[in-house]
Chains A and B, each alone.
Chain A
Amino acid sequence: MAWLLEDFGTYTEEDDNTKLTVTTNKAEAADADRDEDVWLYKDKTLNYFDALDEEFEIYIAATSEVSCMGGMAICNSIGSMDDITDGVSIDAYNYTGSFRMYIRRDWNVADDFAAISSNTPYYCTLVRAAGNNTITLNIYSDSARENLVDNPGVAGFGTAKFRYIYGFINNNSGHADRNFDGYVQNLNLKDAQAHTKALSDTIAISDAVTTKAIGVFKADTVNITDSFSKVSEFKRSISDTVNIGDAIAHSIGLFKSETAMAITDSIAKAISLAKSESALSISDSISKAVGLIKGDTIAITDICSPSLKAFKRLKDFTGRALGTIIGRDLSDDNDEFRDLK
């Protein structure tokens, strides 16, 4: 798991003579003497530190003077190293030309050390099981912490818990010309930063969803757990909606470009057919039929009047013909033909 390092910009600095240069993850001292206060700390609140698994790097330059001290600390007091009455401190130390890394309980109540080299970064892990009497300093020569150089430890802490963390601390014992050159960097309080990391991730995810989805959703991210559920549900909902929208759009598109036009075309075609073929044909047929009927009727009607004369002539002819045939004059027997006479 990737951890976030301590941001020294949030720490409180006590630096009488501006010997400390503080950047985000590094506190570098130049000529930090033992007759001045040079420290950088943060109040993590009461009993914050119990179990320890804190990583940091310490470097002491060869230019550091004999009996100089510089390092970090976790304790219940604010001040320089010699002010610590309840806590643990780590310091790189020039011991008459050879260099050591000390772990100390309080100020010189108990200590242990490992031989180190100057101009060499050391990767340290301060280790303690919760409530354990002993604190151990694991000193590695590599950042992967695979090569253990030494592991000095100090007992006697009982079940004490601690409040303050120091990104850098010197020892102001009132002695001059014991200048420390070196740094502490990449302080990693893994237990504390895991929570911040998770929170950061959650906000990033919510922001992303918010950006892609709807701004109102951002207000729901106050409760991280709920936010995750809502994000999931909301995303699914949006997705479904979009799919439906797409489907509708697709349908509309189809309808417009295909179905509807097809229908229109069909209708048009049908209408066209009806107009050009069926309807017109029918109409024409009707007209034709009507015309024929009409024509015939008219012809018939027209023929009707003249037909009466023809019919009379026919009657006369027929009557005489029939009379001749049957020996009777039908005109005398049939009054209906009287008007025709």
Chain B
Amino acid sequence: MLDFPVNCITPADRTEYAYRANELLRLLHNVMGKWHGHGIPKSIWDKLPAKARNRYPYKDKLTDVEWNDFRANIFEPAINKVVEAILEQRELLKNSSAWQIDIEGLI
């Protein structure tokens, strides 16, 4: 389960939070992927989350073992939680009665 901030309560807020989390994870994935495939300068590495920096010290390229470790043990568990949260909140939004929808006006 994704842990939301205490002030993130409504399905709309949580959906927004989860989508942004998903996007940040996607960007992190791609930086790590670029590091593995092509290498990144240390200035980019310095901006990685501390957990990633501690686990993967700076070098020219991320090794295959480190890349697979990142995907299996960091990225996938995190993205799975986020996707499930998005899908859950989206269902809540679909069934939300926060707004009165004029179906007549839609068709």
Binding site for B on A (CB under 8 A): 112, 127, 129, 132-134, 136, 142, 144-148, 150-151, 153-155
Contacts and interface: CB of A to CB of B under 8 A. Distances in A.
Given A146-B33, A146-B37, A151 B79 contact: yes
Given A129-B80, A134-B80, A136-B80, A147 B86 contact: no
Interface stretch (B8-16, B22-30, B45-53): B22-30
A134 B85 CA distance: 11
8 contacts: A134-B83, A134-B84, A134-B87, A136-B79, A142-B37, A146-B67, A147-B34, A155-B84
Given A129-B80, A134-B80, A136-B79, A144 B37 contact: yes
The bracket for how many chain B residues form the interface is 10 to 19
B33 A148 contact: yes
Given A127-B76, A134-B83, A151 B22 contact: yes
Interface of B: 22, 26, 29-30, 32-34, 36-37, 67, 76, 79-80, 83-84, 86-88, 91
Q: Which 10 A-B pairs have the closest CB atoms?
A: A146-B33, A153-B83, A155-B87, A146-B37, A148-B29, A148-B26, A147-B30, A134-B84, A136-B83, A144-B37
Nearest to B88: A155
Nearest to A153: B83
A153 B25 CA distance: 15
Nearest to B77: A129
A101 B90 CA distance: 19
Given A129-B80, A151-B83, 5 more contacts: A127-B80, A136-B80, A146-B30, A148-B33, A151-B79
Contacts of B33: 144-148
A190 to B, nearest CB: 13
Contacts of B79: 136, 151
A105 to B, nearest CB: 10
A135 to B, nearest CB: 10
